[in-house]
Structure 1
């Protein structure tokens, strides 16, 4: 079966810009994805990160949904240890009621923050231990089959809010297989266990009411431009900015030149950071299409979640459009 294309929008706040700018960019990105035939756009829950504006994930989904017409929108994902299952069921039941047939709910086990922020969220470090039970409780609320006697999620949408398990390790693969849910691997920033996790998921999958056969999604970073050199410059600019942001966490106020950042990324200390973006498609539309087709084939992916990282929003929108058009015109990856 051809591989579907979707988007992970990190809702980044560019240097010198505001969160409102980020929200406007997210609307423009979703509209471009809708025009270009992508299946869905997802937003991830992050907290206490000055460069990411998607902390109130369900609110952002609702805002973008109100400015689009057909594309599916959802969380990729909600970090369930930060919340009670009932509250998330209420939020996504509300979204599905307002925007029927368009809402997804991807669930992750990580806190999406540091230890201090987790405490500020009033969460216990052991909350992640009950993730499998919390997924089942949430699923019960969404389907009207509550596992907590006398408690229902209101509103509960008439339509289905499909669940997806997100992960970057074998734990998520095993849980998704056990519950019979689609599995989305975070290979756009944690590539190491991709192939093993997908194999485990497929081998252990049990059909469920939601899903009869395994469904594999995987993240890929993308920089597409009219010519290869322009795409390469976009990649270098974006990954340098990412490296600077991570370095500053341990050296507040430090400034580094492009040459210093490049040297760091090439050093043993920077190699781990550089390896996080192992799966990156960069180049012309034809080059990116070829890369995505090979990547999808390597794990027999049902769907690719593309993270378009160009710093400038116009470049990012163009990357979305060029990739969508190139992939739509060829097999085996289609819109």
Structure 2
């Protein structure tokens, strides 16, 4: 189960090597699903974008938080449910697929569903917020506070969720990562044994996998770097760490604990006077695995993450 932005592509461009890596693992028998918290685009648009980047993707390979939100609504309301929609095309398409009826903000309704939609008007937000405060059930596609745009990082749907939450005092039922509905919906739609979540964010992709009880692979082509990795909370720690999607075709050896630290593949790491030190040479992926093991061991024992000043990752071969 592949997150998209920061894993398969960054903005409009493919992550270098991503298309080739995915073609090879697919040829080796892996079933691929592309999942996203972005509820604004329907799966067909996402599949077309991936195809334009050289990544084979059919509509059935894409699962969005809008589809997961629609499933949450359908399971509780049944096909006759009436839903107020605050969001974009992706949510509208997902609701239509389930047969749920979309009604206006003033109409009789069973629920409100919200998602990222740049054309949502403030008057509709106000009316829906009052109805949520007064008891109308609320489902949110996701709580991402930011989204990438051509003009930089911008406020995401999570900002609207926070606004409505603070006004109404109501917590929504969330469909997107790290909540489990999106991953459950992906398994339901795509199938497969031993699901693996592949992502670049600890607080959505990796924590989401842990919430569902499946393995995860953190790739370092997106937002997570050294500072984020060494401070990861237990619920944010991946099963595996790799440089990029090539890690899907590589062994994932575990560091071994030594008398004074952790070692793997020619690297040894330890914390000395609250500073993380790594020496040796070898595969760059093994360096990151040693860093994670040494840092997390220290964090769990002391309650503080080690300093990484002057610690520089090796160049990938």
Q: Same fold, TM exceeding 0.5?
A: no
More relative contact order in 1 or in 2 (CA 8 Å, sep 6+)?
1
Alignment TM-score, normalising by the size of structure 2? 0.35
Alignment TM-score, normalising by the size of structure 1? 0.34
Select the structure of larger CA radius of gyration.
2
**Higher helix fraction (1 or 2):** 1
